[in-house]
Amino acid sequence: MRTLITEKLELHRQKHEQKGRLLVSCPDQPGIVSAVSTFLFEHGANIIESSQYTTDHESGRFFLRIEFDWKDISANLDQLKSSFEPIAQSFHMTWSMSRASDLKKLAIFVSKELHCLHELLWEWQSGNLMAEIAVVISNHETAKDTVEALGIPFHFVKANKDIRQDAEKQQLALLEEYDIDAVVLARYMQILTPAFIEQHPNKIINIHHSFLPAFIGANPYKRAYERGVKLIGATSHYVTNDLDEGPIIEQDIERVDHRDDAEALKNIGRTIERSVLARAVKWHLEDRIIVHENKTIVFN
Amino acid sequence: MRTLITEKLELHRQKHEQKGRLLVSCPDQPGIVSAVSTFLFEHGANIIESSQYTTDHESGRFFLRIEFDWKDISANLDQLKSSFEPIAQSFHMTWSMSRASDLKKLAIFVSKELHCLHELLWEWQSGNLMAEIAVVISNHETAKDTVEALGIPFHFVKANKDIRQDAEKQQLALLEEYDIDAVVLARYMQILTPAFIEQHPNKIINIHHSFLPAFIGANPYKRAYERGVKLIGATSHYVTNDLDEGPIIEQDIERVDHRDDAEALKNIGRTIERSVLARAVKWHLEDRIIVHENKTIVFN
Amino acid sequence: MRTLITEKLELHRQKHEQKGRLLVSCPDQPGIVSAVSTFLFEHGANIIESSQYTTDHESGRFFLRIEFDWKDISANLDQLKSSFEPIAQSFHMTWSMSRASDLKKLAIFVSKELHCLHELLWEWQSGNLMAEIAVVISNHETAKDTVEALGIPFHFVKANKDIRQDAEKQQLALLEEYDIDAVVLARYMQILTPAFIEQHPNKIINIHHSFLPAFIGANPYKRAYERGVKLIGATSHYVTNDLDEGPIIEQDIERVDHRDDAEALKNIGRTIERSVLARAVKWHLEDRIIVHENKTIVFN
Amino acid sequence: MRTLITEKLELHRQKHEQKGRLLVSCPDQPGIVSAVSTFLFEHGANIIESSQYTTDHESGRFFLRIEFDWKDISANLDQLKSSFEPIAQSFHMTWSMSRASDLKKLAIFVSKELHCLHELLWEWQSGNLMAEIAVVISNHETAKDTVEALGIPFHFVKANKDIRQDAEKQQLALLEEYDIDAVVLARYMQILTPAFIEQHPNKIINIHHSFLPAFIGANPYKRAYERGVKLIGATSHYVTNDLDEGPIIEQDIERVDHRDDAEALKNIGRTIERSVLARAVKWHLEDRIIVHENKTIVFN
């Protein structure tokens, strides 16, 4: 089965082999687009998609995402980056330039509820998630068979609030061992410590089963039922040290009514959680998200 | 213009002239539907729509809404009610029976933002709101011309938090004068006192400009912007003494993104507020809502 | 794994062990609800959910679905049906009465695109599809491993338009062998002959990848792209001899824009197809659908 | 009331006083963004919003929309356009450059159903439609009072299929008299002749009450009811000589069920028609739409 998967992903990679991405964040001032686009043009790169956004506060900030086609990208990206450095400095840019075909390495953390994991695996098998799923880590054995059947390493790490530090030590070691670029909490259900989070700023994606900021914390479906809401939702966000307060990437909702008890809400919610998380992860993998002041700019 | 309106409403009334509605709430036990439907059948009434719901908690409660067709309803409803009394008592029912063609009298409270008022007036003119809009009360003059042009009485009652008691005294007098059945707060923006609210339990419908329980209280759009949500919403609910905590009747949302500032959210939100409030008022007028333990059962 | 699945389904079955369902379709006349509910009450059955609908055409037709709780249902359902027969006859009813815990036997037909099959399997494993998936039949081998890993029989039946009759002969034999109650075409991509369809009226559920009646027939995503629509959709319907013209059970859509080419539409559409088909199958399994004059009444 | 309206629109205009818009369509080739952005930068204009799209067909075509801030725009736009001409020629551009504060002149055509007209008027009064509503033309008198109360000229032009040519002659004269930039058919219900349409290519916006291409032509709600669809919709499109086949600008849908008869669908549909048309007109007014090969690119 591994072969089949690699085949589809491989096809996608090849399709994007000459594609590069540039992400820029800097103070707004005239001439940025001109400088960047002229730079790319002069180096023979063709802009195929470009999105920008400027905050209109006094201290306006400028954000730019460009996808470009460049035949020399596989050999000469580092050189292009060096040449761009002076421009970046003159505009005080925070920036990154990367190859679309370089797959990010994902670690998926999961507990006993597997619907979000299944969705990610399925989208990945279909070639829609351009990532390498490097490892799945869980404090239960439930996912083991499914994960290993796909040839993905599975690690059981016992975790609960009493042994949090010890568990995170093992987890961090695994993230290092597998050289992980981003962590997806696919209904992991354990709180991470600040020590863990600080090592991966804007790299840990969580799915919370409510339309935040409603129902922060535990048991959102039960509380949604008790409040008698007519919509339930799910929110995917980057994890920060404030529980469920990190930058929101994506949200969606579904309609419910008085006949739906907490169990029914949970069931309906699963479908929303799956698609919201899958979209958020996809956008992260495609470098479509910039975080600014606890909010996301999503160029999708 | 008054004539035109009455014409459309009058057409609707005539269409529903033989239609009655029965609302029942009682402890669940076998035989309720049998007793009620047999009663109606034996009195010559034909059930045209019937909805029921039973809570599945230990102390199960049973809710029923029936629309029936009865040729004698205009003359003999009181008699039918008397005959039903023994059944109601034997099942410990809270119940009501009414003619669909008896229009409820509405008072609409409004401030300076008129989009919700406009929507209600428009739906009413189109014959979709089966109500008599008996009076519009405002602490501003903004709506005066529009309201009076339709032949609806408009009353200016100065109101702010310093003169709340005095204002409410005038408002309550107007509600009595116009013999009001329900109050719609169409973006009224003033808090009502417990004294006011207790006189109209489950009769005051508010529209709050967020998907509750998110952003309870003031400035929800500003706070939604600051939180960086990807959806904004509106909630219509019955007013209780807990601010924005009353039984939710209807909610809806619209998608937004990082480019939408607080002003844009307000604009997008207006459309949601309008339709959510209009639906809630419609369901209230058609006796489709039962309130139970701070939640609504909406038979729509 | 088979054990795990059975466990969840078994739990659901036990939860519904005393639950019965009654479906009725007959000419409208006063007294039907009274007769039916009194019958159930007198036999000790308690109505827990009831939905009805009457067409308001001249020759009004009445439709009723009742879920009831009856402690004797596992032993005495046949007896209850016999007792109901006189009532059914007096109202000229088409009707059925069944145990919720009697799982329907499904055959799933599939081709190479597996997303719909996966969704059904996943919902089934989660205990949300109260069915026995008795067999999966395909004209490709792609699904074989996944299906057999769950302990479900998989049959390869070569099929294309040149050998249609021969293929259907084998398929019909399998349906008989596995004693199938309903067939789900989960992106099967082959047209069935009238001979096949007529043997299973309102028992074959298809998913078409457009919001019908738009884009009937082949290549709907390609044609949607060419027309420049801003929404794409999926439709689940019962199969009749008129291609894509059968009674619609469920539809849904997703927003797209000019950047989405035919390939992107296909990708986005997959998610809609999955959820639309899963809902339709669920409603069919729970006897929530009545077909009347090429339309469905869905009591959900 | 005229004063009030002008006040709000005036505020919006002032907010956009220095804003310009550039729309470009040309064969794709490297260097376009660089050339355009450098041109604007060198003339002292600051890009505040930029969207681009390239078709990925063999003969790739490039589309660009830029909003820029330029302090000299009110006095010197013509000069800027002249300076841009050589660039435009070298890339074989079809292009336009305009001031955001120059309000387009709209003619609204209406029949007896006024919900779409009301929505447009309301959005305009709220300052959301940056246009001058120069004239309303109708083949009925129904809208006269509402329109004239807002100080907008109203013209009755008798129209039906027997006197089409004569009617259009009068209408075209009015369009010329009022110097109209775009025509909105807000449920006008009359077919326009090729002669009329050809004089205003991509300038006539229609609302059709179905999700096209389903239910092209007359009575879409009735036909939707007969087909038993579970969704109804509305489509706004530019008018071409092929009935309901013009480039789609926007679509939306609402969920319905078996209880909704043709009349109910019409009622539910009204809300969709209103918002779909209002969005389409808004995007047209803000120069967000480019038509290419019977499709729209909407930069929203």
pLDDT along chain B (300 residues), means of 10: 61 88 95 97 94 82 96 96 98 97 96 95 89 96 94 96 94 97 96 94 97 96 97 97 95 96 94 96 97 95
**Considering its fold, how many domains does chain D have in total?**
2
CATH code where residue D268 lies: 3.40.50.170
Do C67 and C146 lie in one domain? The reply is no
List the Cα angle D185/D187/D193 in 5-degree steps: 50
DSSP assignment of B99-142: ETTSPEEEEEEE-S--HHHHHHHHHHHTT-S-EEEEEEEESSST
Do B91 and B154 lie in one domain? The reply is no
Residue A229's pLDDT band (boundaries 50, 70, 90)?
very high
C51 and chain A in contact, CB less than 8 A: no
Per-residue pLDDT of chain D (300 residues; tens, 9 = 90+): 344 456 777 888 888 899 999 999 999 999 999 999 999 999 999 999 999 999 876 579 999 999 999 999 999 999 999 999 999 999 999 999 999 999 999 999 999 999 999 999 999 988 889 999 999 999 999 999 999 989 999 999 999 999 999 999 999 999 999 999 999 999 999 999 999 999 999 999 999 999 999 999 999 999 999 999 999 999 999 999 998 999 999 999 999 999 999 999 999 999 999 999 999 999 999 999 999 999 999 998
C7, part of any domain: no
How far apart (Å, rounded) are the C-alpha atoms in residues D10 and B77?
Answer: 57
Per the structure, the complete domain to which residue A67 belongs is given by 17-99
Which tokens go with B48? 């045209």
pLDDT at D5: 56
Which of A82, A99, A116 is at the close of a domain?
A99
Which tokens go with A172? 């961090």
Do A49 and A147 lie in one domain? The reply is no
Number of inter-chain CB pairs under 8 A, A vs D:
46
Residue C6's pLDDT band (boundaries 50, 70, 90)?
low
Do D178 and D225 lie in one domain? The reply is yes
Inform me whether the pLDDT recorded for A59 exceeds 80: no
Which of A55, A82, A99 is at the close of a domain?
A99
Do A67 and A138 lie in one domain? The reply is no
Q: Which among B1, B267, B275 has CB closest to D271?
A: B275
Residue C14's pLDDT band (boundaries 50, 70, 90)?
confident
Helix (H) or strand (E) holding C278: helix C262-285
pLDDT at B1: 40
Q: Residue-wise over D177-197: b if at least 16 C-beta within 10 A, else e?
A: ebebbbbbbbbbeeebeeebb
Interface contact C31-B52, CB threshold 8 A: no
pLDDT at C238: 98
D9, part of any domain: no
DSSP assignment of A138-189: ESSSTTHHHHHHTT--EEE----GGGHHHHHHHHHHHHHHTT-SEEEESS--
Q: D297 CB contacts (<8 Å, ≥6 apart)?
A: C258, D53, D63, D289, D290, D291
pLDDT at C1: 39
**Cα atoms found within 13 Å of the Cα of residue B214, Cβ hemisphere only:** 32
C contact residues 174-203, partner A, Cβ 8 Å cutoff: none
pLDDT at A13: 82
Inform me whether the pLDDT recorded for C140 exceeds 80: yes
Tens digit of pLDDT for each residue in C245-279?
A: 999 999 999 999 999 999 999 999 999 999 999 99
**Contact status, residue C80 vs residue C154, Cβ threshold 8 Å:** no
A2, part of any domain: no
Strands B131-138 and B94-99: unpaired
Please list every residue in chain C whose beta carbon sits closer than 8 Å to the beta carbon of residue D259. Answer: 53
D48 and chain B in contact, CB less than 8 A: no
Do D271 and D133 lie in one domain? The reply is yes
Average pLDDT score over residue span A242-259: 96
B7, part of any domain: no
pLDDT at B58: 59
pLDDT at A58: 59
pLDDT at A244: 93
A9, part of any domain: no
B3, part of any domain: no
Do A155 and A54 lie in one domain? The reply is no
User: Subunits touching D (CB < 8 Å, at least 3 pairs)?
Assistant: A, B, C
How far apart (Å, rounded) are the C-alpha atoms in residues B222 and B216?
Answer: 12
Which tokens go with B190? 């003033």
* 3-class secondary-structure state, position B155: strand
B34, part of any domain: yes
Do B85 and B161 lie in one domain? The reply is no
Please list every residue in chain A whose beta carbon sits closer than 8 Å to the beta carbon of residue B272. Answer: none
Do B36 and B78 lie in one domain? The reply is yes
Do B79 and B119 lie in one domain? The reply is no
Q: Identify from A48, A90, A255, A299 which residue to disrupt to test chain D contact, counting D C-beta atoms within 10 A and taking the largest count.
A: A48
Closest CA to A220 of A208, A230, A206, A237: A208
**Contact status, residue A275 vs residue A250, Cβ threshold 8 Å:** no
pLDDT at C2: 45
D contact residues 5-44, partner A, Cβ 8 Å cutoff: 30-31, 33-34, 37-38, 40-42, 44
CATH code where residue B51 lies: 3.30.70.260
* 3-class secondary-structure state, position C120: helix
Phi, psi of C209 (to 5 degrees): -90, 55
DSSP A258: T
The CA distance from A63 to the nearest CA of chain B, in Å, is 11
pLDDT at D128: 87
Do A108 and A71 lie in one domain? The reply is no
Average pLDDT score over residue span C194-203: 94
pLDDT at A6: 63
Which of C99, C123, C148 is at the close of a domain?
C99
Do A147 and A286 lie in one domain? The reply is yes
Closest CA to B259 of A292, D286, D189: A292
D3, part of any domain: no
Average pLDDT score over residue span A17-45: 96
